[in-house]
Structure 1
Amino acid sequence: MDIIVKNSEKLSGEVIVPGSKSHTIRGVVIGTLAEGVTKLKNPLVSEDTYASVNGCAHFGARIDTSGGDWVIEGTGGKISKPAGLVNLANSGTSLNLLTGVASLGNFEVVLDGDASLKTRTVQPLLDALNQLNVSAVSINNNGKPPLKIKGKLNGGITEVNGISSQFVSSLLISTPLAERDTEIRVVNIHETPYIEMTLKWLDERGVVYEKASDYTYFKVQGGQGYKAFEKAVPSDWSSATFFLVAGAITDSDILLKGLDINDVQGDKMVMEYLKKMGADIKIEKEGIRIRGGNLQGVELDLNNTPDALPALAVTGCFAEGTTRIYNVAHARIKETDRIKVMAEELSKMNAQIEETPDGLIIHKSNLKGCKVNGHSDHRVVMALSLAGMIAKGDVRITTAEAVSVTFPEFIGLMTGLGAYIEKIA
């Protein structure tokens, strides 16, 4: 599916931000490992979260997603052997977390996904599991899916490259169910807010562990288990990013509702980045209000918030002067190489943008309409939609169906605020 985006000078209205993908998938996975019946309220309904549900069902969880709440009948840590290949579609989070889950069984599991997921590097997690009595290999010997995992995870001492926080989170969620204690040493750590998110889930479940203050070392007590729980999924700051940026780069007045300013999600920092650039953002009783302003170029360290890079690259095109995004080389190993892709696609729109090894340098630009490639990457498609709102002339974006991976409501909510976005079959 393609979409056409026309210049949208003014947006106004309210948006109830949907549930967090990262929280939802953690809830599904931990509910699967728990003993008893878990209830997740306000889950994000998307292709990625359904991929986690499908994957967990392979391991013996019974999950009812037919109502507003998701009800999970857990396995009590005694996972079943999947009847066949576990297909996780395009969900990197599900792949990484369920690779750890697969290691808990004394049997072989094959995990795979779509063409995009087959490009995602998982080797650091495989290496870490192999140090814990697990056989964890990439079937094609390229560090990417399909993966073959055979436990059983016993505990011990391991080291993991933290280039993706999901590798660390996978170990933290699975190792409490190992027979013995596990010591985890983390090198090259990135995206620490997502590690904090996982630790908050463990804290709420009463998991016993020790940690270094910089998250480079953990000792997780073995022989533990999860108990069923009831939890409301916080709204998604990663999804809110696109409305915050849309409000900042247009003459807008948008109220975002449902966001928890105290949640551990790293992308809440986008609010501070935009304030630093001059956006008018206020926390009100009803929610967070964003109004357009005269933005100035700044330097932004996105090490903890790599998912914000596509949207902030567009913001840089609107800001006076120069915006430098840096310390975010790991954005290259997401669904796409987002540094390269955003530089290429915004350049087509007349952006003055330079790619660096760990980020982007963006100068104020008068964007022009043209056809751009969404690269089947949901965040790239949504970011290019924002660019279309400030471009002169229509912007046509390919592979726009990718938004359904994490944010199926994106187009409807944006048009509800006054943006012009048309679907083209």
Structure 2
Amino acid sequence: MDRRTHARAGTVTARVAVVGAGWAGLSAAVRLTAAGLQPTVFEMAPRGGGRARSLGDGDEGLDNGQHILIGAYSRTLALMREVGADPGTLLERRPLALTRPDGSGLALPPGPPALAFVRAVLAARGWTWRDKASLLRTAAGWAAGGFRCPPGATVATLCRGLAPRVRTELIDPLCVAALNTPAHEASGEVMLRVLRDALFGGAGAADLLLPRHPLSGLLPDPAAAWLRARGAELRCARRVSSLSAAAGGWVIDGETFDAVVLAASATEAARLTAALAPAWSAEARSLRYEPIVTVYLDAPGGTLPCVMTTLRDGPDAPAQFAFDHGRLGGRSGRSAWVVSGARPWIDRGLEACAAAVLEQARPMLPAATVCRTVADKRATFRCTPGLRRPPAAIAPRLWAAGDYVAGPYPATLEGAVRAGENAAAGVLHELDAPDGRHPAA
């Protein structure tokens, strides 16, 4: 029996496929379902979640990498609530703090983000008044310029007026955390957008939202249950082999759909569109990536100075941040050490990386041992100045969704969720249009 449903009351029925059940694909599927459709979701992995999911292979509480959210992630938080995942229970909200083991660094107090930032700078431990003045002066310049800069500017270019210590202890770790790209190569334009939304996005926009539960419980599992309860079909462990055009629609592995949202990785989307949209496919294929390595350590009875501790990385110290899972309601003594921009350490090998992280952790966790090392070699695209990212609209009733599509954000969960919503809105608009015209037509 043909699985069709009305997109709108009184209109022609439509079948829509979503290829990929990461956060972008799930976001698109929820929007389509809320509009009255029953999409078919294809996912090549055994479970949804993409690059932000629980491992689910017997390592209780371990994820495929450490993720954090911030208060400015409005669409992600709204999506969680819509599918029945309460952010207040699943996430621990804390004012932004980038503090080191000795207590130095920047910690925002509660309150409006812009004012809290000024107060935090003035109260920062370990910085001279000249250091603090350089940061306030530079940040004021960014704000006066509307948080805009020339497209070719790097983050390092934006920070030329900063004191070296502020650049090393604040901007460098903040940049690699937000963009997963070193400051001397990272897009100043995108970094300013992130800062603008965090510092001027309203009360709580800059807050850290740290997962208190495994990642699959934040969105992937609740969204899957929500979708199934409303008639959507999720086909996991099913990699799409082919996508071809048909009269008025698309064919996926011999099955016809009226519209398709490609929410797979850029690599998979490029493969599926190589013959259909070669220019789009080439643009998606041209993206370059930065890896992230997460080293999980176990230290019975051990704790870190902060829930999220900022670290001094270097040639023999890979990690920039460490997260105390015991303080977040997880297994006591377990911590996650995150190595962003990890290409040099990937080249040296994961065993060498884990050993170096273990030595980096010794001063705080003398009895630590390595529990597991997880590497994502294509964690995020390299967010460089002037980067061309493929558009969401590929062809009539064929849309791309993912944190890599053209948009204002770097490769983040919020970027993925917004991309999914945008693709779903595009599909719904085309299905409702009398002539079925495509925005790119």
Question: Normalising by structure 1, what TM-score?
Answer: 0.24
TM-score normalized with structure 2 length: 0.24
Instruction: Identify the structure with the greater strand proportion.
Output: 1
